[in-house]
């Protein structure tokens, strides 16, 4: 939970963020300079740390630099639903750029390092540099598209398909973000968290993962996943990457 203040460390800290925005909208050199020189407060947090809590007033947006994170909501009875997972380079709460109070929680899935960027500075850059504003807007629109797909996933697919779909999405987003092979990677979340994301219980997640293993579409050793039969997994999950809009 060490927290140091690096207001403007020129070299590379926000470069992954710039690369992502530049994939969404072609940016000019001045845009790049403006993004890279945004003030950012670095923080390293342990696995499970709450980065933003529902109801909290937010003055800094949270950019994920290393590790994995998720966003989640809860019912009054305590049922927990994860609504998205996030990879390094993702902005975790861009909606706070226009809404000052959080309507859901953001949590670190693994140990993670994040950069806090004042919402006021992001607002300025979005207003003064239309291309940057458009890239940020596009990012939130992709978010929304993924939410829609998740509504479909938990609403209309059976347990095995939901899991297959989740694995496909995770692999596809990893690849799109340039984080390595989509066929062999480590799945950072616990089976409990996978259940919270798919609307299942941890027990049933375990059963269905076994089923996918026995089917021969994936191999699994602890958190290491290997997708053996991509087309098979794709078919089981009904996965069509269009909704990711080639990014996220």
Partner DNA sequence: CGACAACTTGACGGGCGTCAACCGGAGTGG
Partner DNA sequence: CCACTCCGGTTGACGCCCGTCAAGTTGTCG
Residue 103 interface partner, choices DNA, its own copies, none, CB cut-off 5-8 Å depending on type: its own copies
**What does the binding site for DNA look like in residue numbers (CB under 7 A)?**
158-160, 190-192, 199-204, 206-210, 220, 222-223
Q: Is 144 in a helix, a strand, or coil?
A: helix
> Quick one: 127 or 179, whose CB is closer to its own copies?
127
> Is residue 26 involved in binding its own copies (CB under 8 A)?
no
Task: Give me the count of residues in the chain.
Answer: 248
Integer Cα distance of 122 and 136 in angstroms: 9
> Quick one: 122 or 166, whose CB is closer to DNA?
166
**What is each CA distance from 226 to 27, 60, 137, 248, in whole angstroms?**
36, 37, 34, 22
Q: Is 82 exposed, middle or buried (0-12, 13-18, 19+ CB in 10 A)?
A: buried
When computed from its CA atoms, the radius of gyration of the chain, rounded to whole angstroms, is 18
Span interacting with its own copies, options 29-37, 66-74, 109-117, 209-217, rule CB under 8 A: 66-74
Treating both helix axes as pointing N-terminal to C-terminal, what angle do 230-237 and 202-215 enclose, rounded to 10 degrees?
A: 140
Total residues interacting with its own copies, rule: CB under 8 A? 46
Minimum distance from residue 112 beta carbon to its own copies (Å): 21
| CA terminus-to-terminus distance, the chain | 27
* Contact by Cβ (8 Å): 111, 83: no
> Is residue 160 involved in binding its own copies (CB under 8 A)?
no
> Quick one: 41 or 204, whose CB is closer to DNA?
204
Minimum distance from residue 70 beta carbon to DNA (Å): 13
> Is residue 154 involved in binding its own copies (CB under 8 A)?
yes
Long-range contact set of residues 199-206: C-beta below 8 Å, sequence gap at least 24: 199/81, 199/154, 199/162, 200/159, 200/162, 200/163, 204/159, 205/159, 205/163
Using CB under 8 A, which of 59, 148, 207, 210 touches its own copies? 148
> Quick one: 41 or 235, whose CB is closer to its own copies?
235
> Quick one: 24 or 36, whose CB is closer to its own copies?
24
> Is residue 73 involved in binding its own copies (CB under 8 A)?
yes
Q: What is the DSSP letter of 223?
A: T
Residue with tokens 């798919």: 198
Residues that bind its own copies (CB under 8 A): 55, 71, 73-77, 79-81, 83, 95, 98-99, 103-104, 127, 130, 133-134, 137-138, 140-141, 143-145, 147-152, 154-157, 161, 198-199, 235, 238, 240, 242-243, 245
């Amino acid at each position: 939970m060490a927290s140091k203040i690096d207001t403007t460390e020129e070299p590379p800290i926000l470069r992954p963020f710039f690369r992502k925005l530049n994939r969404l909208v072609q940016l000019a050199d001045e845009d790049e300079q403006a993004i890279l020189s945004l003030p950012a407060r670095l923080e390293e947090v342990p696995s499970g740390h709450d980065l933003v809590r529902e109801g909290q007033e937010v003055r800094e947006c949270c950019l994920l630099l290393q590790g994995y994170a998720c966003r989640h909501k809860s019912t009054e009875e305590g049922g927990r639903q994860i609504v998205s997972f996030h990879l390094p380079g993702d902005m975790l709460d861009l909606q706070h750029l226009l809404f000052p109070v959080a309507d859901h929680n953001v949590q670190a899935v693994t140990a993670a390092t994040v950069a806090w960027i004042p919402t006021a500075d992001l607002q300025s850059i979005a207003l003064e540099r239309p291309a940057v504003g458009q890239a940020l807007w596009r990012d939130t629109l992709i978010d929304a598209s993924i939410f829609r797909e998740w509504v479909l996933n938990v609403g209309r697919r059976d347990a095995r398909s939901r899991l297959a779909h989740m694995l496909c999405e995770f692999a596809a987003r990893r690849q799109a973000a340039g984080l390595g092979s989509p066929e062999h990677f480590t799945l950072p979340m616990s089976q409990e968290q996978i259940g919270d994301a798919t609307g299942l219980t941890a027990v049933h997640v375990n059963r269905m993962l076994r089923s996918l293993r026995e089917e021969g579409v994936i191999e699994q050793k602890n958190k290491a996943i290997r997708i053996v039969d991509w087309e098979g997994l794709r078919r089981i999950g009904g996965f069509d990457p269009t909704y990711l809009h080639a990014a996220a």
